């Protein structure tokens, strides 16, 4: 890899991001425009994300399944708002085996329709409910403007699909999954997020209600990092998903869907990264610690590597993800910079003097230079590393939360509002009117990100029209 410095975030944030994804070997461009190849380092990060989420899904009674990639075009057209929302983004297969198909097939943009078809067959009685299914897959949406991880034609994600007997159960499920995404973002990714509900204009196509988690990136823009949809009975009626209730009456089910995608990798990069490269949260980092052996002579080499391998085994046995950098022909300084750029949370430096003293140097990625370095005894190294990783995890979250707070304004009037959305988030009273929402977007390029679940209480006047408002909303420019 090149040892040329990254473009700084202040120079060109977008270019910094693009260079970093490529140079940290998270992903590469595919031969098809708008698609990406996720490289092993990027996939390892995604695997840790999937493991953290999958564990939470299963703990709440969800099970995994797999539904087909190809969906009959007629399925998409059954739910009116769904087809209207997705038509511009559909990739359609018209030929197979050298012949034109009787009915075109859509490459799934999302799976509500094919799942609805299956649920209509599987559900007969209230005893069959609830159905709580998730799947891990990729979907295709024909996006015009793409960027690695943040917005690609094909992306990887999980999509949950559930069916319930009552509206109350469906709403509880929708909110539960939003809480799970929030918990994952905060605890595992060290990304502070704002859970809230979307406006009618920003709802998922076919949903009665959409909730999202919104995060502030390093350039103060917003990123929608996960969504949970209460679909009401819209898909149940379109696909005749019905059940006999306890009184023997045929009822339509209430359904939900929810998803979090590889876009979250982009969130981690942009929330934590600095001008030296990635800073990965320890709980999700592919490697939590890298060992860099330092030596000049063959004798030193043998002694240092023997000591390093012993430490590595001890750390691995303690459940820590370790990388030993034994690359030849590269200076320790080059290796330090390389692993800093790749965002490994902790570096262990080991030279002949450290071997003699029975100590190591630990260098924290979140604190550059001397401030982040400490001399630690080899005795009890696993406990010291585990504790330091926890400290880094907390420090990253605290720093990101402080950044968001410092760049969130509560403007007193529309003039202040315009300035606020140029610099970060605006938390403002909003009447809920789509006209105000649209005009704000036209005039400032800021969108209504969400109405946070946590509200200050009371009431106020809409930041745009001055009419009475019951809720405050987050407005920001967004990805």
What are the tens digits of pLDDT across the range 365-405? 999 889 999 999 999 999 999 999 999 999 999 999 999 99
pLDDT given at position 232: 98
> Angle CA(406)–CA(409)–CA(410) in degrees, nearest 5?
140
Would you state the structure tokens that stand for residue 194, as one six-digit string? 């704002």
Number of neighbours of residue 142 by Cβ within 10 angstroms: 15
Q: How confident is the model at residue 414 (pLDDT cuts 50, 70, 90)?
A: very high
Would you state the structure tokens that stand for residue 327, as one six-digit string? 């690359």
CA dist 408 and 426 (Å) reads 6
Find, among 351, 333, 335, the residue nearest to 297 by Cα.
351
In terms of Cβ atoms closer than 10 Å to its own Cβ (0-12, 13-18, 19+), residue 101 is: middle
Residue 354 has pLDDT above 60, yes or no: yes
> Angle CA(362)–CA(365)–CA(368) in degrees, nearest 5?
95
CA dist 39 and 37 (Å) reads 6
CA dist 467 and 78 (Å) reads 38
The 10s digit of each residue's pLDDT in 187-245 is: 999 999 999 999 999 999 999 999 999 999 999 999 999 999 999 999 999 999 999 99
Task: Give, for 238, the enclosing helix (H) or strand (E).
Answer: helix 234-239
As beta bridge partners, residue 160 has: 134, 258
Beta strands 322-324 and 289-293 are: parallel
Which whole number is the average pLDDT over 247-257? 98
CA dist 293 and 136 (Å) reads 39
CA dist 196 and 178 (Å) reads 9
Beta strands 346-350 and 289-293 are: parallel
Find, among 402, 386, 248, 381, the residue nearest to 312 by Cα.
381
Which whole number is the average pLDDT over 166-171? 98
CA dist 321 and 77 (Å) reads 47
DSSP string, 15-53: HHHHHHHHHTTSEEE-SSTT-EEEPHHHHHHHHHHHHHH
Which whole number is the average pLDDT over 76-83? 80
pLDDT given at position 133: 98
CA dist 471 and 461 (Å) reads 9
Q: What are phi and psi of 402, to 5 degrees?
A: -60, -40
CA dist 224 and 346 (Å) reads 29
Residue 2 has pLDDT above 60, yes or no: no
Q: How confident is the model at residue 82 (pLDDT cuts 50, 70, 90)?
A: confident
Structure letter (DSSP) for residue 8: P
DSSP string, 273-323: -BTTB----TTT-S-SEEEEE--SSHHHHHHHHHHHHHHHHHHHHTT--EE
Residue 1 has pLDDT above 60, yes or no: no
Which whole number is the average pLDDT over 250-273? 98
Structure letter (DSSP) for residue 166: S
Residue 74 has pLDDT above 60, yes or no: yes
Cis peptide before 130 (omega within 30 of 0): yes
pLDDT given at position 114: 96
pLDDT given at position 441: 98
The 10s digit of each residue's pLDDT in 118-134 is: 999 999 999 999 999 99
Helical spans, DSSP H, in 103-226: 112-122, 167-187
Contact between residue 209 and residue 247 where contact means Cβ atoms under 8 Å apart: no
CA dist 57 and 218 (Å) reads 29
Q: What percent of the chain has pLDDT over 70?
A: 99
CA dist 289 and 282 (Å) reads 9
Find, among 343, 291, 298, 345, the residue nearest to 314 by Cα.
291
Would you state the structure tokens that stand for residue 138, as one six-digit string? 């990729």
Q: How confident is the model at residue 3 (pLDDT cuts 50, 70, 90)?
A: low
Residue 477 has pLDDT above 60, yes or no: yes
Q: What percent of the chain has pLDDT over 90?
A: 95
Beta strands 27-29 and 36-38 are: antiparallel
Residue 87 has pLDDT above 90, yes or no: no
DSSP string, 394-451: HHHHHHHHHHHHHTEE--SSHHHHHHHHHHSEEEEEE---HHHHHHHHHHHS-EEEEE
Find, among 177, 235, 181, the residue nearest to 205 by Cα.
235
pLDDT given at position 80: 74
Q: Token match 């067959």: residue? A: 121
Contact between residue 366 and residue 395 where contact means Cβ atoms under 8 Å apart: yes
Predicted TM-score of the model (pTM): 0.96
The 10s digit of each residue's pLDDT in 39-58 is: 999 999 999 999 999 999 99
Would you state the structure tokens that stand for residue 282, as one six-digit string? 């320890």
CA dist 415 and 433 (Å) reads 19
CA dist 53 and 158 (Å) reads 9
Contact between residue 63 and residue 195 where contact means Cβ atoms under 8 Å apart: no
């Amino acid at each position: 890899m090149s040892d040329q410095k990254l473009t700084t975030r202040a120079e060109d944030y977008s270019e910094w991001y693009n260079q970093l994804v490529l140079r940290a070997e998270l992903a590469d461009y595919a031969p098809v425009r708008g698609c990406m190849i996720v490289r092993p380092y990027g996939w390892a990060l995604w695997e840790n994300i999937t493991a953290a989420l999958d564990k939470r899904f299963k703990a709440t009674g969800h099970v995994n399944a797999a539904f087909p990639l190809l969906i009959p075009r007629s399925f998409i057209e059954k739910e009116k708002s769904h087809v209207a929302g997705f038509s511009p983004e559909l990739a359609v297969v018209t030929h197979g085996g050298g012949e034109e198909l009787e009915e075109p097939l859509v490459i799934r943009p999302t799976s509500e329709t094919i799942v609805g078809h299956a649920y209509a067959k599987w559900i007969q009685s209230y005893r069959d409910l609830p159905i709580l299914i998730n799947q891990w897959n990729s979907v295709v949406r024909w996006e015009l403007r793409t960027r690695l991880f943040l917005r690609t034609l094909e992306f990887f994600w999980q999509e949950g699909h559930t069916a319930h007997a009552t509206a109350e159960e469906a709403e509880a499920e929708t909110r539960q999954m939003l809480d799970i995404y929030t918990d994952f973002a905060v605890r595992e990714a060290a990304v502070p997020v704002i859970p809230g509900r979307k406006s009618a204009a920003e709802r998922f196509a076919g949903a009665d209600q959409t909730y999202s988690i919104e995060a502030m990136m390093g350039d103060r823009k917003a990123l929608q990092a996960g969504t949970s949809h209460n679909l009401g009975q819209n898909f149940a009626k379109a696909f005749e998903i019905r059940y006999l209730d306890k009184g023997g009456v045929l009822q339509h089910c209430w359904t939900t869907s929810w998803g979090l995608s590889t876009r979250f990798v982009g969130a981690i990069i942009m929330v934590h990264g600095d001008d030296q490269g990635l800073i990965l949260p320890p709980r999700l980092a592919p490697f939590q610690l890298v060992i860099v052996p330092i030596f000049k002579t063959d004798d030193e080499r043998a002694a240092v590597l023997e000591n390093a391998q012993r430490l590595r085994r001890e750390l691995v046995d303690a459940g820590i993800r370790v990388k030993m950098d034994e690359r030849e022909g590269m200076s320790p300084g080059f290796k330090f910079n390389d692993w800093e750029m790749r965002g490994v949370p902790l570096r262990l430096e080991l030279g002949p003097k450290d071997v003699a003293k029975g100590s190591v140097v630990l260098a924290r990625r979140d604190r550059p230079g001397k401030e982040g370095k400490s001399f630690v005894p080899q005795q009890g190294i696993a406990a010291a590393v585990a504790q330091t990783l926890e400290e880094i995890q907390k420090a990253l979250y605290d720093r990101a939360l402080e950044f968001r707070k410092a760049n969130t304004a509560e403007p007193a009037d529309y003039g202040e509002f315009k300035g606020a959305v140029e610099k970060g988030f605006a938390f403002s009273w909003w009447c809920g009117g789509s006209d105000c929402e649209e005009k704000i977007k036209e005039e400032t390029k800021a969108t209504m990100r969400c109405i946070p679940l946590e509200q200050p209480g009371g009431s106020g006047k809409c930041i745009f029209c001055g009419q009475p408002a019951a809720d405050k909303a987050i407005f920001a420019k967004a990805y």
